[in-house]
A and B are shown apart, each in its own frame.
Chain A
Amino acid sequence: KAGVTQTPRYLIKTRGQQVTLSCSPISGHRSVSWYQQTPGQGLQFLFEYFSETQRNKGNFPGRFSGRQFSNSRSEMNVSTLELGDSALYLCASSAPQGRGTEAFFGQGTRLTVV
């Protein structure tokens, strides 16, 4: 069974631009969550989608948004990029029941804002 796939793996953008990251969860998983990881803050929860609906949201500005498609694939978008948005962005999916189960992470997208 294929794991969680994130594309692209690496990205360099300029301040003020916007970026879209993609995540394909494990087949059959309907819950997709996004995290930002930086050396100073660690892993921080961005938002979670389940069956195309945002079910939970972390404490990030409105420049960070996401969506989920009917096939459970998810995208996150960051608009008006700032230098501080440079981070490893991780996507995780979990089993349908989503309770008391492990999270499966992708390899991440390394975003560098210059």
Chain B
Amino acid sequence: SQKIEQNSEALNIQEGKTATLTCNYTNYSPAYLQWYRQDPGRGPVFLLLIRENEKEKRKERLKVTFDTTLKQSLFHITASQPADSATYLCALDDSGGGADGLTFGKGTHLIIQP
């Protein structure tokens, strides 16, 4: 069966360090993979999208890698700040993109400690 796994435990990182979040999937062949940030009581906010033929994508302090052989994406936040504390969701798109094609992981709760 299809499955998306993200670290279910909260991830505690010290301010200034790099936070690395993992998204593993099975029985999917996603054309795209997206990462979203969600704060309590609010809707997810898009961060980055990476295509299956891309190995890495960067945006400011964020970096995403996508390994279709390992069926894994890593999401990095460098020079982490307490304001980065949130739940981060990975979403796979195996139908071509757009909101209709997204299947979400359950998210990883990231806590950046001062």
Contact = CB atoms under 8 A, between A and B. Distances in A.
Given A42-B105, A42-B107, A100-B49, A90 B100 contact: no
Interface string B35-67: 010000111111001010000000000000000
Interface residues of A, number: 33
Interface stretch (B10-18, B19-27, B75-83, B91-99): B91-99
B36 to A, nearest CB: 8
A98 B89 contact: no
A94 interface: yes
A104 B46 contact: yes
A12 B100 CA distance: 28
Contacts of A70: none
Nearest to A9: B41
Nearest to B32: A100
B34 interface: yes
Interface in A33-77: 33, 35, 41-45, 48, 50, 55-56
Contacts of A48: 99-100
A40 to B, nearest CB: 9
Contact of A90 (B43, B51, B103): B43
Contacts of A106: 43
Contacts of B102: 33, 45, 103
A100 B99 CA distance: 9
Nearest to B42: A107
